Amino acid sequence: MRLTDISIKALKAPEKGAVVYPDAVITGFGVRVSEGGTKSFVLTHGKLRKRETIGRVGILDLKDARSAAKKLLAAYTLGKTSTTSVPWNMAVEGFLKERKGLKARTLKDYERLLKRHFRFGDLKVSEITTQEIQRRIDKLSGTPVEQHHAFVVLRTFFRWTHRKYYVETNPMDRLQSSFKYKPRERILSDVELKKVWRAAGDDTFGTIVKLLILTGQRSGEITKLSRAMLGKNSVTLPSWLTKNGREHTFPVGSMTVALLKRIPFATLPNFARYKGYLDERSGVTGYTLHDLRRTLRSKWAELGVVREVAEKYINHVSGAQAGVNGIYDRYSYMKEMQQAVELWEAHVQTLIA
């Protein structure tokens, strides 16, 4: 049948599923009517008879829909495009599924950033404009670090969609993050360490803080400690838990051993809230929990612990263990690390006495 504005209005919905009414003017072009009565202009093309939606009837008129169908058929015939766009939600799930090899916490962060800040629902990824992306990124200007992380993950996502032929061009190609990384330099003094330790308490959060002070490991590693990771006087972090993906074994002293008896932690507190409470009780502010790691590394240097030992202990491969040196230097440094641990715990003991 030759579709007209009047005939389209008269098209009836099926009792179940959907039906396509073909147009006699353009081969493959037609109107799809769902059982709910929704009408959309569609185009079926190619050897596989692939069908794609051009637009909703009412939003797009018949004349413009026919024009779009002609342009699409011409492009397919000339081989200028082979994209197959999909809804945003479907693309995100596919993107995350292909990243199952990432660490669980990294994958979770990818999912959080994409689903919290970029809720495009069933909008096709090919219809998401550069301007709309920029608008949503600009809304995060009050939290620059979060904004930068969201930008990086979204850029990775759209590069993936481009490789998958979901978009003809990457809408983020011309966008840049305004974030300027500034390395943190905060180190707690002995007086501040004493105040923080005494105010930390013996609850789960306080135990975590004290373990961070004593070991200098990352908070994400300490919070996930299990009994299976503990030796008599050592801890072994499996490769899936460490940031660099390497198994890491380090010795611990008697103070740390006593605290490790409280793991695994049944539930974890709200770190932001409890850190605020700790700041109020201790009177020490302007630092993050990660700064405790930098503090240990710096204090060890003051106490005379050599760089190789300190870097090995905190599992920092960008320092003395980086590059060729890290590849060929397989010495465990356990004896030297044990001596450094004893020296550090003795120092902490004098602070809190």
Local structure of residue 217 (DSSP, 8 states)? -
DSSP 3-56: --HHHHHHPPPPSSSEEEEE-SSSTTEEEEEETT--EEEEEEETTTTEEEEEEE
The interaxial angle of helices 204-215 and 190-200, nearest 10 deg, is 150
d(CA 151, CA 337): 40
The contacts of residue 174 (CB under 8 Å, 6+ apart) are: 130
- What is the longest distance spanned by two Cα atoms in the chain? 92
Q: Rounded CA gap, 193 and 200, in Å?
A: 10
Which residues in the chain come in under a pLDDT of 70?
Answer: 78-84, 181-182, 318-330
Instruction: Please tell me the predicted confidence (pLDDT) of residue 73.
Output: 85
CA distance from start to end of the chain:
92
Instruction: Give the model's pLDDT for residue 62.
Output: 93
Q: What is the pLDDT of residue 328?
A: 44
Domain 190-352 grouped into CATH 1.10.3720.10: no
Q: Which tokens sit at 62?
A: 């018949």
Nearest alpha-carbon partner for 200 in 210, 212, 213: 210
In this predicted structure, what is the pLDDT of residue 322?
A: 47
Per-residue model confidence (pLDDT) at position 82: 54
Of 3.30.160.390, 3.30.1280.10, 3.30.930.10, 3.40.50.300, the CATH number of 5-78 is 3.30.160.390
What span, in angstroms and rounded, lies between the C-alpha atoms of 211 and 287?
A: 16
> Which sequence spans correspond to the domains of the chain?
5-78, 88-163, 190-352
Range 55-60, long-range pairs (CB < 8 A, 24+ positions): 57/8, 57/31
Q: What is the pLDDT of residue 160?
A: 95
CB contact burial 132-156 (16+ within 10 A = b; e otherwise)? ebeeebeebeeeeeebbbbbebbbe
- Into which CATH architecture does domain 88-163 fall? Orthogonal Bundle (1.10)
Q: Which of 193, 228, 239 is nearest to 213 (CA)?
A: 193
Q: Would you say 114 and 157 are in contact if contact means Cβ atoms under 8 Å apart? A: yes
